Amino acid sequence: MHIKICIVEDDEGIQDVLKIILKRAGYETDIFSDGRAIMENHCNTPDLFLIDKQLPGADGLAICRHLKDQMATSSIPVIIMSAYPNVKEFTVAVGANDFIEKPFRIETLLATIKKHLPITEDVPIPNFSH
């Protein structure tokens, strides 16, 4: 079973880093630079959403609220990422399942994602130190 993560992040550098990290960890990814595809329901249903808070067009919190209000996506975990630590309380208010502060450690990112995914075979977190 392949686990798919939908990433909504406007920074191309962070997109690349997330894609590499998650691919090495065994996840498939769909990446969007803004939330339009998500808000208009033009994306394949993933197992988890990883959404930046600060996006052009639609704010990450608004995207999360939209996802949690839709029957088809309400039970899919949403993790909000932000460089602003005080945003965490707002993420809970819109129904996000978790929050990751940028910059993040790879181990923290992967552990947070794994915590919200269905239990599958125990895949070790890859070592990125080399």
Per-residue pLDDT at 22: 97
Q: What is the pTM of this model?
A: 0.89
Per-residue pLDDT at 42: 80
Report d(CA 114, CA 39) in Å as an integer. Answer: 25
Report d(CA 130, CA 112) in Å as an integer. Answer: 22
Domain extents in the chain: 4-115
* CATH fold of the domain at 4-115: Rossmann fold (3.40.50)
Q: Are 3 and 117 in contact (CB under 8 A)?
A: yes
Average pLDDT taken over every residue of the chain: 89
pLDDT tens for each residue of 15-56: 999 999 999 999 999 999 998 888 888 888 999 999 999 998
Confidence band for 129, pLDDT divided at 50, 70 and 90: low
Residue 124 scores a pLDDT above 80: no
Report d(CA 79, CA 7) in Å as an integer. Answer: 10
Residue 79 scores a pLDDT above 90: yes
Per-residue pLDDT at 2: 87
Between residues 122 and 32, the one the model is more confident about? 32
Mapped onto helix, strand or coil, the DSSP state of residue 38 is helix
Report d(CA 116, CA 79) in Å as an integer. Answer: 9
